[in-house]
Copies of this chain bind each other. A is one copy, B any other.
Amino acid sequence: MNRPLPQNVPHVVIVGGGFGGLETARRLKRADVRVTMIDRHNYHLFQPLLYQVATGGLSPANIATPLRSIVRRQANCEVLMGEVIGFDVAQRRLILADDELQYDFLVLAAGATHSYFGRDEWAKFAPGLKTISDAADIRGRIYVAFEAAEREPDPEIRKSLMTFVVVGGGPTGVELAGALAEIARHTLKRDFRHIRPQDARIIIVEAAPRILSHYPDDLCEQAIKKVRSLGIEVMIDTKVTDINDTAVHLSTPNGDTVVRTKTVLWGAGVQANPLGRLLADDAGVTTDRGGRIPVTPTCQIENHNNVFAIGDIAVCLDESGKPLPGLAAVAVQQGAHVASVIKQSITQPGRTLSPFRYSNKGSMATIGRAAAVAQIGSYKTCGWFAWILWLFVHLMLIVQFQNRLLILIQWAWSYATFNRSNRIILGEPALFRKSAKSKTQDTSA
């Protein structure tokens, strides 16, 4: 049965069904409002586990839950699958590709995408990891590279097929590299006849002097040791100067070098969803270099008290004036804050709004098989126990019971057998056909 939506109450429109948008919607459950959540996709994506999809450990459906299921029981909320293409804050209108919506409150929570720092031509050689399509693309490239290497007679090309470069030593880069190491050293160990997957070369390239640089020094040290113990090369203070279909060009402290590779994964830069700039222009504010909208301490847009921006699309300063990091936890807490601001604006208009305060509950990142770094308050740990913590926290966070159980079984099985069940390569493997024909000119680093 269709329960009717509440009528004649303020209309809250939320753009984006990610961590921030979803939390805003849920926190408005008992508020006297009507909520419309718009997303281009029909699912909420649990991005922290996207690297597992990209490396074949999980299926997309394990980490993507239909938005309609999540808010099914929330009587004042409806979900629209649609594409936002513009704003009209003066008229309180949101413009969709094929429709328009009138709102009383607008919450923009459309997230971020990758940034190639002005070198967008690198995108086709070095895919980033933000969407399920990205993950399927990366998974295809990884497994196709091994398939092509198995068939490649030329030892130089074979070597380049078995070289994997991950650009960026943040959590995503380290997680991808760790999973790659596990695939090469364990999952595929016995699967080939002409290559030894264990010989694959995996390189993390990081422009800064450290990887996982937002963790404290001692944790970083331990993490880098753990990463190296997996056979992953870590090149710090190293900048990418060019990427093409056969090589990555690097500028290192010891001079320029070229690494011949067919597989480059991009975990380096992030920029706000282009909707950020569109809203900023319409609202008369200026985005930062990453395209993020500046917001007030209450997550509102300057001079537009009924328009909010949260999560990766917004730049919100903490008490010390530093921008908050682009973490799911920040988006979730901002979502809850915005919901309470909206409720207060309705029930107690004119009362001073309290500013958003991010409460850092800690952060963690995995490093390959059964190892992680974790920082929870002043408690820091690196290794197996950190991984168990990571596993527990992430399973608890996933929205649906079914997925939690399935993921646990899938992981238990993978852990026991080193297997990754979702190694299927979809679509037309372009690299595969090309590799056997194209010859490489570069000499290797």
Contacts and interface: CB of A to CB of B under 8 A. Distances in A.
Per assembly, the copies of the chain total: 2
A60 B424 contact: yes
Contacts of A410: 402, 406
A441 B80 CA distance: 26
B403 A406 contact: no
Contacts of A5: 193
A156 to B, nearest CB: 17
A154 interface: no
Nearest to A72: B190
Contacts of A62: 59
Given A81-B432, A196-B2, A400 B424 contact: no
Interface size class of A (residues with CB under 8 A): 35 or more
Contacts of A214: none
Contacts of A429: 81
A42 B423 contact: yes
A185 to B, nearest CB: 13
Interface of A: 1-3, 5, 41-43, 59-62, 64-66, 68-69, 72, 78, 80-83, 97-99, 132-133, 136, 143-144, 147, 150-151, 188, 190-196, 400, 402-403, 405-406, 409-410, 413, 417, 419, 421-427, 429, 432-433, 436-437
Contact of A424 (B64, B192, B405): B64
Which 5 pairs between the two chains have the least Cβ-Cβ distance?
Answer: A61-B422, A59-B59, A68-B191, A98-B436, A81-B147
Contacts of A194: 2
B99 A436 contact: yes
A61 B424 contact: yes
Most chain B CB neighbours (cut-off 10 Å) among A68, A188, A417, A437: A68
Nearest to A405: B409
A376 B98 CA distance: 54
Contacts of A425: 41-43, 81
B66 A191 contact: yes
A422 B69 CA distance: 12
Contacts of A133: 426-427
Given A424-B61, A424-B132, A42 B419 contact: no
